[in-house]
Chain A
Amino acid sequence: AQSVSQHNHHVILSEAASLELGCNYSYGGTVNLFWYVQYPGQHLQLLLKYFSGDPLVKGIKGFEAEFIKSKFSFNLRKPSVQWSDTAEYFCAVNAGDTGRRALTFGSGTRLQVQP
């Protein structure tokens, strides 16, 4: 069974600081990887996804993530955060080679950006 670990549960940054949120998964085969964001009071939205090709993926709002297969990681990055990035971030995975359509989510990272 797949599992996803997000080691940072709560991150506090000042505006303009750089962000990196960790995500590690446990599955040895082909994977599809996603980052979702949930702004306060809103529904989950897709930030970016990876399923093949260039391991550096760019998403919305200046976010990017890098898939490192040897480390089973898919870390999310942003060079300079804004107050509006305050939200909860979820990493998710499914096993691409099984056809499984449901996602396994990590426990989430709450990001607080101070002005």
Chain B
Amino acid sequence: DVKVTQSSRYLVKRTGEKVFLECVQDMDHENMFWYRQDPGLGLRLIYFSYDVKMKEKGDIPEGYSVSREKKERFSLILESASTNQTSMYLCASSLGGPNQPQHFGDGTRLSIL
């Protein structure tokens, strides 16, 4: 069974801090994704990666960056955290093709004070 592990379930940070969210998958998936989930808005794509060192912006990339140095690990970085980035962050991975289902981690609930 595919396992997508996010490093923290809950995280509290302060405005202006640089925040790192880590995600690891154990199934050698090519694609990895970061979403944020907000009530009434569903999931919105922040960034995704289809290979090591490759990344593409999603629908809401402003204020975020990503890093994929190894195939199994995809990091989301909040360069200077702001209160409007308080949210649930979900990582997902999938095999290569567009019809492949995504497998999700448990999520990180991030609060920016």
Contacts and interface: CB of A to CB of B under 8 A. Distances in A.
Q: Do A and B bind each other?
A: yes
Contacts, number: 62
A54 B34 CA distance: 31
Interface in A81-115: 90, 92, 94-96, 98-108
Given A90-B43, A101-B31, A46 B99 contact: no
Interface residues of A, number: 29
Contact of B42 (A45, A94, A100, A106): A106
Grouping DSSP codes into helix (H, G, I), strand (E, B) and loop, the B interface class, with mixed when no group exceeds half, is strand
Interface stretch (B70-78, B79-87, B90-98): B90-98
Given A49-B101, A103-B43, A105-B42, 11 more contacts: A6-B42, A32-B98, A32-B99, A34-B101, A46-B102, A92-B43, A101-B96, A101-B98, A102-B33, A103-B102, A107-B40
